[in-house]
Structure 1
Amino acid sequence: MTRRIALTVLALVTVLLTLAVVPLGVLLEAREETSFRASAQADAQQVAAAAEETLSDHRSDTSMLQLLAAAGARGDCAVVYDSAARVVARTPCREATGDVPGLVAATLAHPRTSSERTGDRLTVATPVGDIQDVSGVTLLVRSVDPLNDRIWAVWGWLALIAVLGLLAGTFVSVRLARWVGSPLHAVDEAAQRLGEGALEVRAQAGQGPQEVRRLAATFNTMAARTEALVHGHRTVLADVSHQLRTPLAALRLRLDLLAGDVDGDALQELAGAQEEIARLSRLVDGLLAVARAESTVPTPVPVPVDAAVAERLAAWEPVAAERGVSLSAHGGQGQTVSLGAGDLEQVLDNLVANALDAVPEGGAVRIEAAATSGLAGQAAVELRVVDNGPGMTSRAQQSAFRRFGNPEAGGTGLGLAIVHRLVTANGGAARLEDTPGGGLTVVLDLPRRRPGHSRSGSRQQPPD
């Protein structure tokens, strides 16, 4: 952003300088040329006035010769012609190139002062005498080198002013860009660190424009409230964990002791009670797992997809073999995702467990992984857990990621909720699809690890 602001301001300054300097330079150049022509015509008319005293009034030519000498001293060439186009007097220099006789004849025929630029010289023709009684013509030839020098000097000064203005504009644009962009960059970095789990991070709220300061202050307020909520949630989780697990464990132990002293119908009732206690324990563990996924912010670490999938397949293979279900994996070689430590393993455990519970004997569960663009065009790995079980109705799919949202679930109904919380907490996405031919496919878009982006750390969990 800093670079864009600087380049935008610099481009605006450049355009303004161009629009100001170029027309001004053209105007000054035209003004210098007009002034140069007027000066040459004035000098030629002075010589013509002195020549008129000699040619028309037949006075002494002293004044005319003095003006011719002065013109020669300035580097000009001046020639006085009579009405017959004969040379009366001249300075000792070469006349102008071009059609001089034609210019003289045209001036005698149509008495008026005219100027003509040929190469590096300006020729001015001025009639001598009145328009009704022209007694001759005066030619003044002047080099345009002084004019060119002045024009170059004008453009040089304008170029220097433009360069200084551009340098000043560059300095102002860079300072402005840093003044606006640096605080925004600091807020962006703080937001990234907050998203990675550093709940204590805060942004500097005393720099930049007033709007950026308000943004930083609002971010700090949000971060403080988030930190308070997360820490409070963790405290509640710790209390719930101890308050529920301890009496459940004690109750299970007492039921186990009672089971050794009874038989018959009482033993069956105790066995049923033990199963309900075990189910309640699993339900509590599931609720705590969902709450942890919601209240904690993972610190991403690089996780090789193929290694994690192979490890979980090896762990679940005995269960699948016992139930007569085929368990396989395809793809994912060389793909690395950026997730919290242990999150991918927990996600795979829940998905494979759900699939094995749903697939009948002789069915199949397959895990597929492939690189994809993911959400908003970001690099991602698409992980698919495909089964050919009974599937799930569209209504059940819409609520499957909520706690106890699936009325068709045979277990606690928390497995997909845990998966959804873990995936979304890591910046991914989860959805359900029907498997072609029957069954359910869980599709996960997991953020791919960026090249050169490696951070170590783990998800902070509340104490149990």
Structure 2
Amino acid sequence: MRLRILSVYAVLVACLVTALAVPFALAYSSHRTGRLLLERRADATRFAELADQAIRDGDTTGLVLEVRRYTELYGTPVEIRDRDGAPVTGGGAWDEAAARRALSGRTTGSLPLVTPFGPDAAVVAEPAGRDAQVSGVVVMRVATATARHEVTLVWAAIAAGSVVAVGCALFAARRLARWILRPVTELDATTRAIAEGRMDARVGAADHGPAELRLLERRFNAMADAVSAALDRQRAFVADASHELRTPLTVLSLRLENLEPHLRPSGEADFAEALAEVDRLARLMEDLLTLARVESDATAPEPIPATELPRRLESWREVYAARGLTLEVAVETGEAVRSPGGAPSTAAPPALPAAAARIADIALDNAAKFVPPGGTVTVSLREGVLRIADDGPGLDAEQRSAALGRFWRSPGHGNVPGSGLGLAIAAELARSSDSTLTLLPAHPHGLVVELRPHGPTAIGARRSQAPQPWTER
């Protein structure tokens, strides 16, 4: 918008300056041309009087001397001829059209407009004679070098003044645009910060810019406060409800277990299903509490070293071995770590976000549920990017875009235990750590969960939770 304002203002100012400068420059050229005509026509009139007298007397001696001295003094060729076109004196100035007009009794009324680009010379023709009797013609070829030099100086001054005027106008326009758009710039920065998760970001004191935009800033702050308060109430409700429901669920689970000795054999299947549903509801409550904690404005812990991740992943090897799966780890830790089938690596990557281990736990837990026995899950860390890839059935593009939402379950795996909140929690953890969580297809089949920090200084820069052990999600 600033560029548009400056462009429009510059075009308007340039048009205004041009509308003033061009007529003024042309007016001076016309004035200088008219002055040149008056000066030279006065000389031509004097020569016409002398020529008429000399032609009538038949003695041109004095006329020849006058013409020679004038030509030598001013460098202006003068040519005088009688009414029949016979030369009387001088030379080098003849112009047939101008001479024919003068012999018809008309003097030169105008000259071509003198500009810095021309003409180099102009012709002045004056009839010689008395009353209506034309006895000859005086033709002068006037050099315009002096007049063009003066016009050039004036035009240059006008051009310089126009450039200075446009420059001053642009400087004023830039300050005006900055003054007008400063509230808009602050609003843009604040909305970007809120979009990145900093719900406490607000526009500064509205003491600059147009009154309408200052009012918009104040109303935006009020709207942001209202939205933030609504989100806080929503998160508090989820956390409180989950916390309050956890105790009754625990009591219900204990009472159901106490009823087991009194069951008839025909009711054992229904009893087992009831316990499973209670357990699933308990896991759902735990996930909701976790999501509420992640979304809260807690202070982020420091990033964790890359050496912590392999030790954290070791606890999954037994789980994977029990399910017939293979877990491969290829992590750059800055130590001499050899990945399966690879060469040692000693490159030291940047520190990981504090939530990286928890996100890896979520991805490994999902892979353990959906990858069939005999499959392989690979955890890799290269240049700060954490990737968990499996060779399971994977998800199509539409499913990958929806999988990060809350309570999303794959249509083909509705019977798999889980709350549908695991990837949503992972996405929120990534966002709070100033990172991006992306689901990508693996080749030839499978799913890749990729955690990519936004920058080397952004890792773990804002909000997250301390690493905690994860069970099934």
Using the size of structure 2 for normalisation, the TM-score is 0.67
Distance 1:57 1:393, change over 3 A: closer
**Whole-angstrom distance in 1 between the partners of 2:172 and 2:137:** 61
1:359 is aligned with what amino acid? V
Determine the structure 1 residue equivalent to 2:357. 345
Tell me if 1:190 matches 2:162. no
Inter-CA distance 303–252: structure 2 relative to 1 (3 Å threshold): same
Matches of 1:332 and 1:151, distance apart in 2? 76
Could you tell me how far apart the structure 2 residues matched to 1:393 and 1:125 are?
A: 94
Per the alignment, residue 87 of structure 2 pairs with: 85
CA shift for structure 1 position 178: 0.3
Question: How many residues of Structure 1 are paired with residues of Structure 2 in the alignment?
Answer: 429
Structure 2 unmatched runs, 5+: 334-346, 467-473
Tell me the residue number matched to 1:153.
153
Kindly tell me: are residues 69 and 218 of structure 1, through their superposed partners in 2, closer, same or farther at Cα, counting changes over 3 Å? farther
Q: Distance in 1 between matches of 2:96 and 2:424?
A: 105
Structure 1 residue 12 displacement after superposition: 1.9
Partner of 1:414: 421
Question: Quick check: 2:77–2:140 contact (8 Å CA) kept in 1?
Answer: yes
Deviations for 1:4-24, whole angstroms, at most 9, x for unmatched residues? Answer: 346524652575267536743
Aligned residue for 1:283? 284
Aligned to 2:339: none
Counterpart of 1:441 (choices 432, 435, 447) is: 447
Pick one of 357, 378, 389 that aligns with 2:369: 357
Task: Tell me if structure 2 keeps the 8 A contact 1:396–1:405.
Answer: no
Cα offset for 1:151?
0.4
Aligned residues of 2:355 and 2:465 also touching (Cα < 8 A): no
> How many angstroms does 1:252 deviate by?
7.6
CA offsets per residue over residues 142-183 of structure 1, 9 Å max, x none?
A: 553441243023203312330232122212221222023321
Aligned alpha-carbon RMSD (Å): 5.4
Provide closer, same or farther for how the CA distance between residues 412 and 231 of structure 1 changes in structure 2, counting only shifts above 3 A: closer
Q: Which residue of 2 aligns with 1:111?
A: 103
- Aligned position for 1:91: none
Instruction: Summarize the Cα distance change of 1:408–1:31 in structure 2 as closer, same or farther, 3 Å threshold.
Output: farther
Deviations 1:423-459 (A, max 9, x none): 567674655758746xx52545x55423666773333
Q: Among 463, 467, 472, which residue is 1:458 paired with? A: 463
- Please give the alpha-carbon distance, in whole angstroms, between the structure 2 residues aligned to 1:147 and 1:404: 87
Structure 2 equivalent of residue 220 of structure 1: 221
Give the whole-Å Cα distance in 2 for the aligned partners of 1:52 and 1:398: 103
- TM-score, structure 1 length as denominator? 0.68
User: Does the Cα contact within 8 Å between 1:298 and 1:460 map onto a contact in 2?
Assistant: yes
Which residue number corresponds to residue 230 of structure 1? 231
- % identical aligned pairs: 26
Are the structure 2 counterparts of residues 59 and 106 from structure 1 closer, same or farther at C-alpha, using a change threshold of 3 Å?
A: same
> How big is the shift at 1:81?
4.1
Q: SS where residue 150 of structure 2 aligns?
A: helix
Distance (whole Å) between structure 1 residues aligned to residue 300 and residue 216 of structure 2: 26
Distance 1:326 1:351, change over 3 A: same
Tell me the residue number matched to 2:23.
24
- Superposed, 1:178-327 pairs within 5 Å as 178-204=178-204, 205=206, 207-209=208-210, 212-213=213-214, 215-240=216-241, 242-246=243-247, 279-293=280-294, 295-296=295-296, 310=310, 312-327=312-327
More divergent stretch after superposition (132-141 vs 298-307): 298-307
Cα 1:244–1:40 shift into 2, 3 Å: same
Paired amino acid for 2:92:
D
> In structure 2, how many angstroms separate the alpha carbons of the residues matched to 1:164 and 1:396?
62
Q: Secondary structure at the match of 2:461?
A: coil
**1:108 shift after superposition:** 8.1
Structure 1: gaps of 5 or more residues: 88-94, 372-379
1:126 aligns with 2:138: no
Q: Give the direction of change, closer, same or farther, for the CA distance of 1:131–1:30 in structure 2 (3 Å limit).
A: farther
Cα drift, residue 302 of structure 1: 9.6
Distance 2:29 2:366 in 1: 88
